[in-house]
Amino acid sequence: MKEKEQSEWLSWIKAFIVALFLVWLVRAFIIIPIEVEGPSMSPALIDQDYLIVERLSYQLSNPKRFDIIVFHATEQKDYIKRVIGLPGETVEYKEDHLYVNNQLVEEPFLADHLNDNQHNSPFTNDFNLAEGIPGQHQVIPEGYYLVLGDNRQNSTDSRMIGLIPEEDIIGQARFIYWPFSRISSLN
């Protein structure tokens, strides 16, 4: 009887170790949870939303325009922002309009902000890569991205911290899982 109990305990210990390993594997290489702190991505993401960030796809492909990404802003802090400019592009904002390589690009996720902006001030102040982004680039270099918060008037983004190196990108925000009233996927 004692031998059977020991065998059962050993099975439970093995199962527990395998489960811990699988959790570590998923968290290290596939998905991580993260909490939104602050209003910089409002209304798409609001303070205290909890997200699932998927890490695997950027191992296989590069970020695309308008992806919502999480990246290391400092050694202690990760930021959540939207990709606006890709490597090899020029980016400029004039009168609340985005121009990429001198072509107007619509930002449908800002429609509500722009319609609600009842002030005489612009929602996104005019800037271009050479004037308004640290580093004063003419073109976004290979391996770098320009990111902005959706709440342009209250966001610490590439306008302050510069272009984001590809190696600092953790993954793409895919899903809001908390609070329940905000559960949704992010496209």
Q: What is the DSSP string of 118-180?
A: -SSS-SS--EESTTTSTT--SSPPTTEEEEE-SSGGG--SHHHH-PEEGGGEEEEEEEEEESG
Q: What is the pTM of this model?
A: 0.85
pLDDT at 29: 65
30-38: Cβ within 8 A, 24+ apart: 30/54, 30/55, 30/56, 31/55, 31/171, 31/174, 32/170, 32/171, 33/177, 34/70, 34/78, 34/80, 34/173, 36/80, 38/154
Instruction: Look at residue 118 and tell me if it is in a domain.
Output: yes
Catalytic, out of 42, 81, 121, 181: 81
Instruction: Look at residue 13 and tell me if it is in a domain.
Output: no
CATH number of residue 164's parent domain:
2.10.109.10
pLDDT at 145: 98
Instruction: Look at residue 155 and tell me if it is in a domain.
Output: yes
Catalytic residue check, 57: no
Instruction: Look at residue 17 and tell me if it is in a domain.
Output: no
pLDDT at 1: 62
Instruction: Look at residue 133 and tell me if it is in a domain.
Output: yes
Instruction: Look at residue 21 and tell me if it is in a domain.
Output: no
Catalytic residue check, 40: yes
Instruction: Look at residue 23 and tell me if it is in a domain.
Output: no
Give the structural domain span for 161.
33-185
pLDDT at 24: 75
pLDDT at 120: 64
What is the tally of structural domains in the chain?
A: 1
Catalytic, out of 4, 7, 40, 158: 40
Instruction: Look at residue 4 and tell me if it is in a domain.
Output: no
pLDDT at 102: 96
Average pLDDT of adjacent 10-residue blocks, the chain of 187 residues:
76 82 70 92 93 90 96 93 98 94 93 66 88 92 97 93 96 94 89
